[in-house]
């Protein structure tokens, strides 16, 4: 764990964390961020006699930033008053913040490389200075796009892609979020800290999913609300790209990109986080939210200031934990039901939900939604069940938000009740059912036709005897007297089902604390701020 401020810091809201060490320490190698203020960051220029000389790039940056800076094209679209205030006030403050870099970041920042468990803690002031430099595109070797370039396996960090190209309106809204962030921090710099943890699980440490008897944990499901608004006190899921932030500095503007825009401190992960491997996640502790927003994707708009009232721990980190996990991009819809792809997604989700050294009763619930669906092409029902399974083995409850999809809400509620109350099944048996569904429904679907039954409709029909036989179906499997009723039902799974399904809402209690991290985090047993739904006949303890 690398801490770029004095470790004895204890948050009181009055004092900034002190950079550590007191004097700038310069390192220029492949294991650390190559800083714009490094003595080794050099650039050839012509002197007054026309001769080529090598000059420190930081001196050039200082000279350029202290001069008059012309406005980028996008700012021509904003109102005259906003433009004048930006160039006369805000921009000058961003310049000063950027030039404070060698005084605020006094030790080399390690790269969070793949296949390593590493943590990095920065003050919010240090992050702001790093992002100010990204705003002015000062980070060296980060604009090269060749596969052979040093940082080809890292996200871009310089903001130049926001200042060029189309669509102008979407990029303008992104810039509004970022400029608002800089206006806030240069007016009243927050005094807290943020921790970024790269979590890697060795491949031989993942469970043998098909042989687990672990039962599903509690579930709250709602069609209303968002993860950032209603996931207070819970482990919030970022539907990530393996290149963190995805298209946030380009054209992308969906779940992950929006989260990075309203919580710009997350953008700094792009400076030091190598792309995630299949057994890795990144957890961000304490990133502050600065903006409201409206819309999604093409309709996204900055919607004003957001005052984040979340409690802080003793290090000044907001009690907001966000885990970035990247789902598979589905190119062939039916392929995701194969066990190899299911195992990959289970491992990825488990890697994000796992917490070392914490008692189960102190683990917060996972607040998530349609991970890996939408642009990534995943099946909502399968992905929800995968996340439930992974969270259950990680000993976490789940708060699932379906984002206005009431049908999914009801079906997920019903299948959870079925698998936990009506006919309790362990993880291994649930995965067997999914395999049966792939074999008997997915793999037999004629091209360009719809599935005769979805996964959640299929599961209870295996047990209630309503599966219909057709001439094209294989013979019913046989069993001996030693087989359990549960096994018999699964062996009897057939294809071609036409059935209507009614579903109920579920409201199980979920936990929302992170009890062992610090004393100021929410206490065990507190309930999440999530929307209540009317249940039909599935009544449980409700949040």
100 close to 185: Cβ distance less than 8 angstroms? no
The model's pLDDT over 136-172, given as tens digits with 9 standing for 90+, comes to: 999 999 988 888 899 999 999 999 999 988 778 899 9
The model's pLDDT over 290-309, given as tens digits with 9 standing for 90+, comes to: 999 999 999 999 999 999 99
Average pLDDT over the chain, rounded to whole? 86
Structural domain contains residue 405: no
What counts of helices (H) and strands (E) characterise the chain?
15, 13
Structural domain contains residue 167: yes
Q: Whose CA is closest to 442, among 342, 343, 335, 346?
A: 335
Q: Is 256 a catalytic residue?
A: yes
In 55-197, where does DSSP find H-type helix?
Answer: 57-65, 80-85, 91-99, 101-104, 124-135, 168-187
Task: Report whether 370 belongs to an annotated binding site.
Answer: no
Which tokens belong to 87? 């160039």
Q: For the chain, what percentages of helix, strand and coil (3-state, to nearest 5) are there?
A: 35, 15, 50
Q: What pLDDT, on the 0 to 100 scale, is given for residue 491?
A: 37
Number of separate domains in the chain? 1
Q: Is 303 a catalytic residue?
A: no
Q: What pLDDT, on the 0 to 100 scale, is given for residue 375?
A: 86
- In whole angstroms, what is the distance from residue 384 CA to residue 180 CA? 35
- Among residues 228, 232, 256, 379, which one is catalytic? 256
The model's pLDDT over 35-66, given as tens digits with 9 standing for 90+, comes to: 999 999 998 888 877 888 889 999 999 999 98
Neighbours of 346 (CB within 10 A): 21
- Among residues 74, 197, 232, 238, which one is catalytic? 238
Mean pLDDT of 255-265: 98
Structural domain contains residue 123: yes
The model's pLDDT over 184-223, given as tens digits with 9 standing for 90+, comes to: 999 999 999 999 999 999 999 999 999 999 999 999 999 9
510 versus 68: which is more confidently predicted? Answer: 68
- In whole angstroms, what is the distance from residue 282 CA to residue 4 CA? 19
Structural domain contains residue 87: yes
Structural domain contains residue 434: no
- Among residues 74, 197, 230, 257, which one is catalytic? 257
For residue 542, pLDDT beyond 60: no
Task: Report whether 255 belongs to an annotated binding site.
Answer: yes
- In whole angstroms, what is the distance from residue 47 CA to residue 50 CA? 5
Structural domain contains residue 131: yes
Which uninterrupted H or E stretch holds 119?
A: strand 118-123
Q: Is 76 a catalytic residue?
A: no
- In whole angstroms, what is the distance from residue 230 CA to residue 361 CA? 21
Going by pLDDT thresholds of 50, 70 and 90, the confidence category of residue 521 is: very low
Task: Report whether 285 belongs to an annotated binding site.
Answer: no
Token look-up 């320490």 returns 25
Structural domain contains residue 357: no
Structural domain contains residue 427: no
For residue 428, pLDDT beyond 90: yes
Q: What pLDDT, on the 0 to 100 scale, is given for residue 5?
A: 94
- In whole angstroms, what is the distance from residue 243 CA to residue 234 CA? 24
In 67-155, where does DSSP find H-type helix?
Answer: 80-85, 91-99, 101-104, 124-135
Q: What pLDDT, on the 0 to 100 scale, is given for residue 70?
A: 63
For residue 481, pLDDT beyond 50: no
- In whole angstroms, what is the distance from residue 261 CA to residue 248 CA? 7
Q: Which residues pair with 507 in a beta bridge?
A: 220
- The residue segments making up the domain with residue 105 are 1-189
Going by pLDDT thresholds of 50, 70 and 90, the confidence category of residue 466 is: confident
């Amino acid at each position: 764990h690398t801490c770029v401020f004095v470790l004895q810091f204890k948050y009181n809201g009055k004092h900034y964390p002190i950079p550590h060490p007191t004097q700038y320490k310069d390192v220029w190698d492949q294991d650390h961020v190559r800083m714009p203020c490094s003595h080794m960051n050099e650039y050839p220029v012509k002197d007054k006699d026309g001769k080529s000389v090598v000059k420190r790039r930081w001196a050039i940056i200082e000279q350029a930033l202290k001069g008059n800076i012309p406005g980028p094209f996008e700012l021509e679209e904003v109102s005259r008053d906003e433009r004048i205030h930006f160039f006369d006030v805000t921009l000058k403050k961003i310049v000063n913040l950027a030039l404070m870099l060698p005084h605020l970041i006094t030790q080399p920042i390690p790269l969070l490389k793949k296949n390593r468990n590493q943590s990095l803690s920065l003050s919010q002031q240090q992050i702001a200075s790093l992002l100010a430099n990204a705003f002015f595109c000062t980070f060296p070797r980060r604009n090269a796009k060749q596969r052979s370039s040093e940082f080809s396996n890292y996200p871009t960090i310089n903001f130049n892609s926001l200042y060029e190209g189309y669509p102008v309106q979407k990029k303008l809204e992104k810039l509004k979020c970022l400029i608002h962030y800089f206006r806030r921090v240069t007016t009243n710099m927050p005094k807290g800290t943020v921790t970024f943890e790269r979590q890697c699980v060795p491949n031989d440490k993942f469970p043998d999913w098909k042989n687990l008897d672990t039962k599903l944990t509690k579930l709250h499901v709602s069609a209303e609300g968002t993860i950032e608004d209603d996931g207070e006190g819970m482990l919030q899921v970022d539907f990530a790209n393996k290149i963190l932030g995805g298209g946030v500095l380009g054209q992308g503007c969906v779940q992950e990109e929006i989260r990075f825009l309203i919580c710009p401190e997350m953008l700094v992960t792009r400076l030091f986080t190598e792309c995630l491997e299949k057994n890795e996640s990144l957890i961000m502790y304490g990133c502050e939210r600065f903006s409201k927003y409206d819309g999604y994707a093409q309709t996204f708009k900055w919607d004003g200031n957001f005052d984040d009232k979340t409690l802080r721990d003793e290090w000044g980190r907001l009690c907001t934990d966000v885990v970035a996990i990247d789902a598979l991009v589905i190119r062939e819809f039916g392929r995701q039901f194969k066990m190899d792809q299911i195992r990959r997604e289970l491992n990825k989700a488990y890697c994000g939900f796992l917490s070392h050294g914490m008692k189960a009763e102190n683990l917060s619930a996972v607040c998530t939604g349609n991970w890996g669906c939408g642009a990534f092409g995943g099946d909502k029902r399968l992905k929800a069940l995968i996340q439930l399974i992974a969270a259950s083995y990680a000993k976490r409850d789940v708060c699932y938000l379906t984002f206005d999809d009431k049908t999914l809400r009801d079906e997920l509620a019903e299948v959870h009740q079925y698998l936990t109350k009506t006919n309790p099944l362990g993880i291994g048996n649930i995965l067997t059912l999914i395999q049966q569904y792939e074999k008997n429904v997915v793999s037999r679907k004629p091209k360009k036709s719809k599935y005769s039954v979805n996964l959640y409709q299929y599961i209870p029909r295996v047990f209630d005897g309503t599966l219909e036989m057709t001439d094209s179906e294989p013979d019913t499997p046989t069993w001996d007297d030693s087989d359990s009723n549960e096994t018999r039902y699964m062996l009897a799974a057939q294809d071609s089902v036409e059935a209507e399904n009614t579903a109920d809402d579920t409201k199980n209690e979920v936990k929302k604390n992170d009890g062992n991290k610090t004393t100021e985090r929410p206490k065990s047993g507190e309930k999440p701020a999530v929307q209540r739904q009317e249940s039909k006949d599935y009544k449980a303890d409700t949040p």
